[in-house]
Structure 1
Amino acid sequence: MIFESLPTTPRAEELLDKAFSRAARSGRSKSGFEAQESMLVTASNIVSDNLENIVTAWPDFDTVDPFYRELADAVLRQSTFSRETPEGDTDGIDALRGSLSEVTWASRQIREIRSEYQTKLRNSNPETGRKHRKQAFARIADILDEISDDLLRIGAARDALRDLPDVRPDEPAIVVAGYPNVGKSSFVNRVTRASNEIASYPFTTKGVQMGHFERDRIRYQIIDTPGLLDRPEAERNDIEQQAISALEHLADAVVFLVDPSGDCGYPLDAQLELRDAVEGRFATRGTPVLTVCNKTDRSRDVDADAYMSVTEGEGVEEVLDLAVGAVDYDPDIPRRGSTPESASGL
């Protein structure tokens, strides 16, 4: 997963302490001009290199798959990252980009300070050289103080994103939708027959469940997202709406489960109304939505694309075959909406 390997972001005071303590050690073995220059170069290199590494560890969001880009933006807007963002400032990915840009600026400024004061040191006596080195250290400290909030925001963003489920935009994905208690989790468990990943998004009330299965040596992802596609659109907040927008980029097919018996606690009319809304939303990307009647051992009283009973093991494989056919995945052809970068994997 693209955010999983992001390193811990140091606080400004931690980075400064590290740089100055190593600089002091580097100067002990030297004297005069060489000692002051060694301390200057050591401290400035440690700070500028660490700041540069913080920025380069992050992916370029312009080349990130649209699923992860929109999902990351939604997560950041909902997480503690937002509380680190100044009131009235931009939010989400834009705020993160702003902080990364500030850190890049700081890294370059510190390199310029190093060059400026190296020249001053070469043209000064030992006592003046010591004053120049201390001036350089003070300016480095001021720059780190200036970006201290940006480092906190980057650290909060890293913490919010690093544990997202390992969804792979370059693999075909089937999203399972429908009201609660219609059998979505049971279906995912049944067709994957394995320990499925359970992970949480900050905007969902239950863990997102994801499993995998294979057909003709192609691995398919199958995903149940409780809290998103299980209630009418009017009941979702802006963050949840954006998360669904991310799913639109990911899904190659949607399996919408209905329970005509009503045992799930929701009348059939309401279930079909939600189905129609999901169809309308995913139709903009040409994503097929299959209506699947579950709990056929209790009722089949609905017009559906397929019928099954997960608890009885009836019709499950046929539903899975129908979903695979709807995906119509050809590994030699880039997926719908993918860029050359995402088609080759992240």
Structure 2
Amino acid sequence: MIFEGLPTTPRSEELIDKAFSRAARSGRAKSGLEAQQSMLQTAGNILSDNLENVVTEWPDFGVVDPFYRELADAVLRRELDARTGEDGAEQVGLDALRASLSEVTWASRQVETIQREYNTKLRKTDPETARKHRKQAFARMADVVEEVEADLLRVGEARNALRDLPDIRPDEPTIVVAGYPNVGKSSFVNGVTRADNEIASYPFTTRGIQIGHFERNHIRYQIIDTPGLLDRPADERNDIENQAVSALTHLADAVVFVVDASGSCGYPLDAQLALRDAAVDRFDAPVLTVCNKSDRSRDVEADAYMSVTEDENVDAVLDLAVETVDWEPDLPSRSG
């Protein structure tokens, strides 16, 4: 997962202490003017390099898969406080993170500028004046790093919020299972996938989502049940939850919408079909209507009928979903 390997973001005080303590050690190994030059070089390099690394470890959100980009934005809108940009407008989500990363980049370059400026001053001077210049440089570098303390904290919070997102793979064919609670979605996912199903949690769902995998013709598929998101109408979701659903629209290659015509799920059939119609409008992927509990009632027009509890037509429904996905793997071309 693209956010899993993000390193811990250092605090400004931590960076400054690290840079100046190592600079002091490098200075003790030399004397006179050379000692001051070595200290300046060491501190400047550590600060600028570490600040730059904070930024470069993050993926380029311009090329990140749209699923993860929208998902990250939804998570950060929930987890991070808004910040105010130069134009006075509030920035939230990815915009706030990008703004903080930009500030950290600025700080890295400012430290480099200070380092170059004082390197010049230290070239032709006596050791005592060089020591004063070096101390001035350290003070200015520390001021720059302290100026981006809030940005470093925000980047660290973003890393903590994103690193434990479910490992969902946008490059694998994906079937999203939707429908009201108690219609049999989770039982269907459990029944058609391997025993090592992953149960993972989005920050904006009350229950963990279920991610299963199965294979057809040597192709691995992932199938996802998302309780708390796709089991109620859009007007009952908050903005962040709706954005999470929007992220799923980039991921789904097919949607299996499960209905219960018997009504034993506790929701009337017309409400279930209204939610199904909303899914058809929301997803670009094809939406299959599947009537579960068909041993109790088939009183609905559907693409397929099954009974998970009776193990009737479950595999046929999965085969229909695979056929609907119509996935063609990218195979290496053969030359010659």
Identify the residue that residue 341 of structure 1 maps to in structure 2.
Answer: none
Q: Deviations over 1:173-221 (max 9, x none)?
A: 0000000111111111111132211111111111111011110111111
Identify the residue that residue 302 of structure 1 maps to in structure 2.
Answer: 300
Question: How many angstroms apart in 2 are the aligned matches of 1:36 and 1:225?
Answer: 60
Query: 1:298: how far off?
Result: 2.1
Question: How many angstroms apart in 2 are the aligned matches of 1:212 and 1:31?
Answer: 64
Q: Deviations over 1:285-311 (max 9, x none)?
A: 2x1100011112222221111111112
Identify the residue that residue 69 of structure 2 maps to in structure 1.
Answer: 69
- Equivalent residue letter for 1:310: V
Matches within 5 A, 1:282-293: 282=283, 285=284, 287-293=285-291
- Equivalent residue letter for 1:8: T
Question: How many angstroms apart in 1 are the aligned matches of 2:221 and 2:81?
Answer: 34
Question: How many angstroms apart in 2 are the aligned matches of 1:313 and 1:51?
Answer: 57
Question: How many angstroms apart in 2 are the aligned matches of 1:10 and 1:140?
Answer: 16
SS at match of 1:254: strand
- Kindly indicate whether residue 105 of structure 2 is the aligned counterpart of residue 107 of structure 1: no
Identify the residue that residue 150 of structure 2 maps to in structure 1.
Answer: 149
Identify the residue that residue 50 of structure 1 maps to in structure 2.
Answer: 50
Q: Deviations over 1:30-80 (max 9, x none)?
A: 11111111111111111111111110100111100111111110110011x
Matches within 5 A, 1:232-243: 232-243=233-244
> Which blocks of at least 5 consecutive residues in structure 2 are unaligned?
332-336
- Kindly indicate whether residue 160 of structure 2 is the aligned counterpart of residue 159 of structure 1: yes
SS at match of 1:219: strand
Identify the residue that residue 31 of structure 1 maps to in structure 2.
Answer: 31
Question: How many angstroms apart in 1 are the aligned matches of 2:329 and 2:19?
Answer: 49
- Equivalent residue letter for 1:253: A
Query: 1:232: how far off?
Result: 1.0
Larger deviation, residues 260-269 vs 144-153: 260-269
Matches within 5 A, 1:189-268: 189-268=190-269
Q: Deviations over 1:127-171 (max 9, x none)?
A: 111000000000010001110000000000001111111111111
Query: Alpha carbon RMSD of aligned pairs, Å?
Result: 1.3
Q: Quote the sequence identity (%).
A: 75
Query: 1:332: how far off?
Result: 2.8
Instruction: Give every structure 1 segment of 4 or more consecutive aligned residues whose post-TM-superposition deviation is greater than 6 Å.
Output: none
- Equivalent residue letter for 1:63: V
- Structure number with greater CO (CA < 8 Å, separation at least 6) is 1
Query: 1:88: how far off?
Result: 5.4
Question: How many angstroms apart in 2 are the aligned matches of 1:42 and 1:309?
Answer: 69
- TM-score using structure 1 length: 0.92
| 313 and 193 in structure 1: CA distance in 2 versus 1, 3 angstrom threshold | farther
> Which blocks of at least 5 consecutive residues in structure 1 are unaligned?
334-346
Question: How many angstroms apart in 1 are the aligned matches of 2:48 and 2:68?
Answer: 29
- Equivalent residue letter for 1:141: A
SS at match of 1:82: coil
Question: How many angstroms apart in 1 are the aligned matches of 2:58 and 2:90?
Answer: 21
Question: How many angstroms apart in 2 are the aligned matches of 1:154 and 1:311?
Answer: 47
Query: 1:260: how far off?
Result: 1.2
SS at match of 2:181: coil
Identify the residue that residue 334 of structure 2 maps to in structure 1.
Answer: none
- Equivalent residue letter for 1:291: T
Query: 1:226: how far off?
Result: 1.0
SS at match of 2:263: coil
- Equivalent residue letter for 1:301: D
- Equivalent residue letter for 1:304: A
SS at match of 2:91: coil
- Equivalent residue letter for 1:118: N
